[in-house]
């Protein structure tokens, strides 16, 4: 067991955290319940979509060749040979010199290769005047134009937004194979902590981290289990950690604001486990611990809530994506122009909260423990380890919360 490892880079910490994840088992859910879940198996088109060539407008199915050279003053005169009904198989055929009425979504009859919009046509008895030239394929969605039979439509690992749900419907998936949500335990440690419902006395603060971390887990597709507050006493913490490891797929401990407490956390992880990272070159968030016990990831987060949240977003997020089976996505970001210089120590990756006002980004130099900066800022600007700060006027990327 090694307690005092060398501080590792953010990149290395992310790599190590990810490596601890095991892919969750899968389960089947109805399509109406699949939104917000992660697809667990590639989905291919079961047939050509659409299954037949359809009109995208109300109009007359024609042979495009019959409309060449037609205009407002020189319309083509075609014989109306019938009408396609919506939802019906089409048995009629468009022969040269004829046309067939097709509503939007109706099937294109054999022989036709385009649709003349009703707005530019005029029916007179059995005849139809077409006043514009239509090109082959015009106003037609061809069979298989959306997806071809057998085509990969959505790969495993994709987070299912409403748009993927719509696509799954189009290829006939009424039941979807998704990954189970991993169950993650949360333990808050610290003798200064009191439950949220209590009024803290002097020297005490409320347990913010359980809920901040727990709701982040929920928002990333995990099921948080709250183990509450544990005093910084070896036997108490050991028994709670063991209980959490029995019931959960991973455990996040937060707290340990002082060095003694952090050492206790690392010590307990190291007992029949491994401490893989003890200290990351990141600010805020340096005293983060990454370990494994009973084959499960155990993370020790900083005690300051705002620091813990930066570590959740920048490092733990990758572990959670791997545990939920979700493909890695970039954190959404916007660019802005820095309104002030931001100093930074070289050799450490700094994450500075930034408020966005108009097209300018104002760094929040608040202490990392302040909660108000979490809701007053739009996100984080990263200062790479190799840079000694950023300058006013620089264009920077803001990683959105």
Residue 35: closest CA among 160, 128, 130, 152: 160
Binding of residue 48 to a copy of itself (CB under 8 A): no
Which 262-291 positions form the footprint of a copy of itself (CB under 8 A)?
none
Say if residues 369 and 283 touch (Cβ distance below 8 Å): no
Task: Considering only the stretches 12-20, 62-70, 78-86, 238-246, report the one whose residues sit in contact with a copy of itself under the rule CB under 8 A.
Answer: 78-86
Token code pair at residue 328:
């890695």
104 near a copy of itself (CB under 8 A) = yes
Q: Are strands 76-83 and 98-102 parallel, antiparallel or unpaired?
A: parallel
Centre a 10 Å sphere on the Cβ of residue 128 and count the other Cβ atoms it contains.
25
Contact with a copy of itself (CB under 8 A) among 69, 125, 201, 358? 201
Q: Does 331 bind a copy of itself (CB under 8 A)?
A: no
292 token code pair: 């494994």
Residue partners of 390: CB distance under 8 A and separation at least 6: 338, 341, 342, 344, 381, 383, 396
Distance in angstroms (rounded) separating the CA atoms of residues 315 and 16: 10
Pick 193 or 342: Cβ nearer a copy of itself: 193
Q: Is the bond leading into 284 cis (omega within 30 degrees of zero)?
A: yes
Shortest spacing between CB 40 and a copy of itself, in angstroms: 18
Which residues face 188 on adjacent strands?
229, 254
193 binds a copy of itself (CB under 8 A): yes
And the tokens for 37?
Answer: 């879940």
Going by C-beta distance under 8 Å and a sequence separation of 6 or more, which residues neighbour residue 128? 60, 77, 78, 79, 80, 99, 121, 122
Smaller CB distance to a copy of itself: residue 125 or 201?
201
Asked if 326 interacts with a copy of itself (CB under 8 A), we say no
Question: What is the closest distance, in whole angstroms, from the C-beta atom of residue 226 to a copy of itself in the complex?
Answer: 6
Q: Which of 369, 385, 389, 394 binds a copy of itself (CB under 8 A)?
A: 369
CB nearer a copy of itself, residue 98 or residue 254: 254
In the complex with a copy of itself, which residue's Cβ is closer, 145 or 340?
Answer: 145
Chosen residue from 71, 239, 328, 372 binding a copy of itself by CB under 8 A:
372
Which of 75, 157, 221, 224 binds a copy of itself (CB under 8 A)? It is: 224
Kindly tell me which residue out of 6, 72, 73, 89 binds a copy of itself, with binding defined by CB under 8 A: 89
């Amino acid at each position: 067991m090694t307690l005092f490892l060398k501080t590792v880079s953010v990149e290395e910490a992310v790599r190590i955290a990810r490596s601890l994840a095991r892919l969750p088992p899968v389960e089947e859910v109805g399509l109406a319940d699949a939104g917000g879940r992660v697809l667990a198996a590639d989905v291919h088109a079961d047939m050509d979509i659409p299954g037949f060539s359809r009109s995208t407008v109300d109009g007359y199915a024609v042979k495009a060749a019959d409309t060449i050279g037609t205009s407002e003053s020189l319309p083509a005169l075609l014989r109306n040979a019938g009408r396609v009904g919506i939802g019906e198989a089409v048995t009629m055929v468009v022969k040269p010199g004829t046309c067939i009425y097709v509503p939007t979504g109706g099937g294109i009859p054999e022989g036709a290769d385009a649709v003349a919009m009703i707005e530019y046509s005029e029916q007179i008895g059995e005849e139809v005047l077409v006043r514009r030239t239509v090109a082959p394929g015009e106003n037609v969605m061809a069979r298989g134009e959306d997806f071809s039979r057998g085509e990969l439509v959505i790969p495993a690992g994709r987070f299912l937004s409403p748009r993927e749900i719509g696509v799954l419907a189009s290829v006939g998936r009424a039941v979807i194979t998704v990954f189970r949500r991993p169950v993650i335990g949360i333990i808050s440690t610290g003798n200064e902590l009191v439950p949220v419902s209590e009024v803290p006395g002097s020297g005490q603060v409320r347990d913010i981290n359980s809920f901040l971390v727990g709701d982040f887990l929920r928002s990333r597709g995990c099921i948080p289990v709250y183990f509450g507050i544990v005093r910084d006493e070896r036997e108490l913490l050991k028994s709670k950690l063991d209980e959490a490891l029995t019931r959960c797929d991973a455990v996040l401990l937060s707290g340990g604001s002082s060095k003694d407490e952090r050492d206790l956390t690392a010590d307990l992880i190291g007992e029949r486990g491994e401490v893989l990272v003890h200290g990351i070159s990141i600010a805020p968030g340096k005293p983060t611990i990454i370990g494994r016990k009973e084959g499960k990831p155990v993370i020790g987060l900083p005690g300051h809530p705002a620091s813990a949240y930066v570590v959740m977003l920048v490092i733990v997020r990758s572990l959670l994506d791997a545990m939920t089976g979700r493909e890695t996505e970039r954190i959404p970001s916007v660019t802005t122009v820095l309104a002030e210089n931001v100093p930074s120590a070289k050799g450490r990756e700094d994450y500075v909260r930034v408020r966005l006002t108009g097209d300018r980004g104002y760094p929040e130099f608040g202490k990392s423990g302040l909660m108000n900066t979490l809701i007053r800022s739009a996100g984080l600007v990263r200062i790479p380890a190799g840079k000694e700060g950023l300058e006013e006027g620089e264009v920077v990327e803001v990683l959105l919360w």
